[in-house]
Amino acid sequence: MEQFLRIFLPAYFIVYFGIAFVAKSIIVAKRIGKNPLVLPKDDSAYGLIGFYFKLTIILMFVYVLLFAFVPSLDHSYLPIKQLENLTIKYIGLGLLGFALIWTTIAQGHMKNSWRIGIDTVTKTELITTGLFGISRNPIFFGMTISLVGLFMTTPNALTGLFLILGHVLIQIQIRLEEDFLTSQHGQSYLTYKQKVRRLI
């Protein structure tokens, strides 16, 4: 299982972020004629959240690469021995597979409204159908599930930190986006919030 994970995890996250962010951003950019990456690079609270979010993703990539190619460092991540069993690892793999499929479907449902960040210039369509009829933030839900899957396949202090930090940053980003969507769509979004849960 360990050898499989050393190959699978880097490949998985390359595919996951490649499909969920890079490919989708390129497709939407061609459709709308602008870059859907609208995270600010200033010193605002919102800009800081975006910076830490990108940093967390980069560090996670570094971790899975080190996990794959430098096994001698495994003890440095402070493994949680109580969670080191095949059943938990298989559940983690299942969650990773679910997260990839779920996020890809949610991306399709989002159509041209996909943005990385908050687009204050272009008014986007409010999507309430498909997976957005189950979750107001299905892509963030998928990302959270992928972090849980990573932790369960390689349970240690570092992946636990990625899970906690990722969850906190996602929760803050969700609230920033929901405040913006309320100001942009008004009563339509408030009605939607009453019908559909924030994550699931």
CA dihedral 17, 121, 180, 108 (to 10 degrees): -40
Q: Give the per-residue pLDDT at 76.
A: 95
Q: Give the per-residue pLDDT at 77.
A: 95
Give per-residue pLDDT as tens, 188-200: 999 999 999 999 8
Q: Which domains does the chain have, with CATH numbers?
A: 2-195 (1.20.120.1630)
> 125: which DSSP letter?
P
Q: Is 181 within 8 Å of 126 (Cβ atoms)?
A: yes
Q: Give the per-residue pLDDT at 200.
A: 86
CA proximity to 29, closest of 99, 114, 128: 114
Give per-residue pLDDT as tens, 113-145: 878 878 777 788 899 999 999 999 999 999 999
Q: Is 59 within 8 Å of 51 (Cβ atoms)?
A: no
CA dihedral 62, 163, 90, 6 (to 10 degrees): 10
Please provide residue 9's backbone torsions phi and psi, each rounded to the nearest 5 degrees: -65, -50
User: Distance between CA atoms of 135 and 41, rounded to whole angstroms?
Assistant: 29
Q: Which residues of the chain have pLDDT under 50?
A: none
